[in-house]
Structure 1
Amino acid sequence: MSHCINPNCPKPTDPLNAYNRICRQCGSQLLVQGRYQVVKLLGVGGFGKTYEALEKGTPKVLKVLVESNPKAIALFQQEAAVLQRLKHPGIPRVDPWGYFTYFANNSRTPIHCLVMEKIEGQNLEEWLHDRGNIPITENQAIDWLCQLAEILHQVHAQQYFHRDLKPSNIMLRAAIVRGSRTTEQLALIDFGSARAVSTTYLAKMAIGQKGTVIASKGYAPPEQENGKTMPQSDFYALGRTFVHLLTGRHPLDFYDPHTDRLEWRVAAPHISREMADFIDYLMARLPGQRPPNTEVLLQQLEDLKRANRHRKPVPMGLSPARGRRRKSPSVAGLRKIASPLMAASAIAAIAGVGLSEVKIYRYAIDRLHEYQQAAAEQVGRLGIDGGSTLEVTPVKAAIDRPQERAIATLATTDTPEEVTEDITLSNTLTGHAQDVRSLAISPDGQLLASGSFDGTIKIWNLQTGQPIRTLTSPNPGQIVSSVAISPDGRTLVSSSNSYGGTIQIWDLATGQLLASLSPGSSGAFVVAISPDGTLLASGSEKGSIKLWDLASGSLLQTLTGHVGTVYSVAFSPDGTTLASGSEDGSIKLWQLENTPSGGLNASIWRHLSGHVGKVFSVAFSPDGKHLASGGADKTVKLWNLETGKQTGTLLSHAGIVFSVAFSPDGETLASGSFTGRINLWDVDTGQRWETPEAHSRWVETVAFSPDGHTLASGSGDRTIKIWGVR
């Protein structure tokens, strides 16, 4: 396929352009500069678009600037100049002719373009995510630090510094096999923020003048956030990057605002004190306290590498018994004892070092699984039998710190009483390339719609699990954050909370796109359809809720009152009330009334407060008398809507509760959490069914079939699971 890069082309992906030199839709040249065939869109950023292009069959990356303001153009030209001067396998190559301007048909506005080498592989943020955010080893960290220091040496030697070093700007090239060795080569990308170092620039910084503020939160040093950047600023970002890689968590998870310190070491018990000291040295608060230049940095890394050759690896929270063997319970007893100890270690290791609702819990669960697996392997290697055991030593922090000791103790407490019901896994559906964010089941129970961060909607046969069709937005780069099916089963609505995201209305039977609605620059995070099929509600990241006429697509009313993202909206069964849950921790109930003129009037009826932190999901009971909500405080709460009072709190989740759903008979409540488990609750008694572990990552959405005998769940592990419920 040939892709048209004219920003005003009505259909840039016209399949009939495959063998054309001129776009059928707008008349623009498809062979850019007479040499580059644009084959697909790779991504959309704040200022431009990135494409894959072929030059005589060789894949290249084509960056196209869509903003025409002078500052954006200057940064774009600067990136081209930097890359043309740098020659290193860790830096994308740009040919002398790689920067140019392109004119679309009948346009006098130049489109600025930059063609560079396409580096095959993943960036480190993607790579870390795909391996479950398991931290890298110390040896790997030293190897990668050396590679990046060499790249920075080349950049700084050309009198530039990068200014935006972070995992997403570091590519891991496809492995190169040389003889019996496999080599991993890192590459530094995105030089749009690079700055030339000159005596004039440094003099301006010295007397207090500010430069352009370009800072990635969590990685940029204090001086850069204040508009003053030095070459040593790259070293600070390098240190923060390796905090992320060595812990599997974003650096800001460890920031303590009371001490202004990054308390990250407790989350990396597998690295040596010398390695941790070196990372802290890179992240010193003042530029003068960091390495003065790349030559010193490289020498210090050589010293660290040499010392590391003679050091035994630090175990990840496990140590063999101090004695060789001693009498103990059986291996089964050992594993029963080891599991809560390891859970306590994992939770204690992250206690008190950050407030991120997501990555803290992800780390704890990942570490728990790793330790359990490691313990089982160690048992097998040592040939432990009923007369021997392995001592599992909690992370030192859990012993030394009272707060973490307390949390470790809590980790072994009993869960709420469970009752056994018949829930079985019927099918696992695969096909999405990223998180499955939202699910909807048709009223006849035959079809399942799934929306994913990969930008697609898939329609499945719920009974067989077979995919029927895949729907893709005509606006490339938009994720799908929510899906809903109308009560008559004829219409599918999807939303995107990407920048400029739209609400799209589809014919469910044919997959035809019927209409696109524009909710605003921040898109729509969630959508819901009223029980009579006439109203559409959408919630945005700016705290507003919009009510639309579903048939005409006209906007009826905008509701304000939340502060922060509206994560969930739901209509009551009689359609007279809308519930919304938000980032601000509140739930609002809106009364919907028809006006004498045939319009709609919505006003706040009740405020429900009780969650500590974000409210991610709300759902009405089938009789409309109760509301369930799930939130970042790891609880499911039940509310009496007549009184507005909280009637119960369900506490067994070990992680954030992302989704809740009532069964059609109202007797069962399903909730999906960050731990990957689905909990099923008896609504009358509050008892929890004994349910199997559902997913390897967080459960983002759950949905019951109309007969209540099937439950579908979607997850960050990119799968959909279909459960039989009896």
Structure 2
Amino acid sequence: MSYCINPNCFSPENQNNPLYCAACGSKLLIEGQYQAVKKLRVLDWGTIYEVKREETTEILKVLHINSPESISQFQQQAKILAQLNHPGVPQVKPGSYFTFIPRNSNQKLHCLAIEKVSGENLQTWLQKNNLPINQELAVEWLNQFIEILSLLHEKQFFYQNIQPSNIILRPNGQLTLTNFSLELQSVQSDFVALGYMFIYLLTGQPASTFLNSDTKTLNWRDKVSQISPKLVDFIDNLISQQYPENHQTLLHKLSKIKDDLSPSLMPKKYHPLKSKLLLGSAILFLGLGITQIISYLPKQFNTDLLLSEQSNEIPSDNLENFFYENKGKFLVGGIIFILAIGGSHFVGYFRIHPKYLKLSLPNGVSLEETFNTDSERVYSVVISQDGQILACGNGNGTIQVWNLETREELGIIEGHTSDVVAIALSQDGNILASGSYDGTIKIWDLATEAELTLQSHFMRVTSIAISPDGEKLVSGSSDDSIKIWHIPTGKMLHTFRGHSDSIYAVDISPNGKILVTGSHNNIKTWNLETGTEIYTLVGHHGRILSVNVSPDGEKIASGSSDKNIKIWQLETGKLLRTLSAHINDVNSVVISADSQTLVSASSDHNIKIWHLETGKLLRTIKGHSRWVSSVAFSPDGGILASGSFDQTVKLWKLG
């Protein structure tokens, strides 16, 4: 489809893309390079089209009014936009301003081709993500707007069209002004409109809702009692009748407000289990109960909790005979065992000694340890790079930490008010980060016992990752955004946008340069430093719940709610293979340090081990009774940790 831009053409739509309009005979390839493919808007002063120019799509503005004043303003707009090199305004290339004369007409049409800004307008984004926005996002956006307006006002050019529908939110979080007006007003009108819009963004209601008709003032402060008074004052200053302060003063004030909102270091709630005194009777009952049962188990009895392609299930009749013959002993032992568990509730902690759970199997996998957690749901497990620390994020808002070598629980970290669904450890093991459904990220210094709270997402935090140098943290959220943070200061560095749905998974390449993110149906890779999107991987048909970059930096593994695992080439984005064996969501994928082995965890209760290069399924681990939510390798690849909704974290020894 091609459109004729002649305003007097009675049938501007042309099929099959001819060179000339079938109705009026005007050229359809405008200026020898632009082809109008879609009519976007008809305004008082002209028409806006979407046009094709070689392999790119641009926006073409066509002025229909021939008054000298309108032409002068249109030319001024073209000149100023061409001079500006800022992502906050559409880019205009040299030669993009031209005139066009339709056939059989003496009237020149003044035309301006500008960048088609990728992203979605702010009104659409707000409808998807719900108002109001939080104050941290408000400060970030105000800063962007004032920087953009500063550039325009310096050239005596005024925007005049500040409203959510005219603002595009680029995938990297940059706001861009579109639909520039030809009306001449003032700097003040831009700032007043900006203030009104932010009242709407922070309250969810139009500013006119708060107008007192008697005093002609906006009484909106009671609606935002949770917002910083300095931020409220700042917005009130924008809409005052006085000429606003210069732009640099406004930016300086915003910077101070942002500093006031920045997270501060606070003592963390860290409770070593050593401080929980064990009652003597509980210890006695626990020891007697376990010993009584274990003593009755024959040495040759080997319970296969782990099943693999090479192992066989225990015949059910052997189990039935064994328990029948020893039912009396088990009755006594069971009573003592129940008393032992009851005693353990006095201290809120119960763990069976690993020597009674260690299982030697033909396939070289054995269960080393089962840790019972304080929560019904374990969402995430992680092992430190030195192999000393094991941690898990729980559904009750806590994080539990163990010494992996001694198997001693080091403590329970509290602070979140909802499920901790993602945790990450820095490579030196000193920093633990956690993301929660409460919308916050917390950074815990395990050495100094300090806590840093980061808050900018206005919906659930779903995934986090720490860069190899320990300087940056990446967070993904249900608000469709990815945020980059500076760990030492807690400052937010960037916001990346490009996905149209929740972010479920993030990971960083070993060299710290590439970010991988998973959303619904697709995976994106980004330049972590610039926020530039590199490519989009399409192939899954569902939520991508986990992504992991191989330690050699060559491959990406992804697990999805479509029950499949896919292996991609990091450099090119090429799909190498699809692994299918799970019968439910694949919640977690992790690649071993030597980049040879892939492990997947699923809601089908199973863990599967694969050869990464060939895609061959090596074995299946069965041992959890509910969803397996997360898996993590020890640095040497000898230990695998798994977390489950069965309230446990398990350690598996891999031969």
TM-score bracket for the superposition, by shorter chain length: 0.3 to 0.5
Relative contact order higher in (CA < 8 Å, ≥ 6 apart): 2
Q: Which has the higher strand share?
A: 2
Rg: which structure is higher?
2
Q: TM-score w.r.t. structure 2 length?
A: 0.45
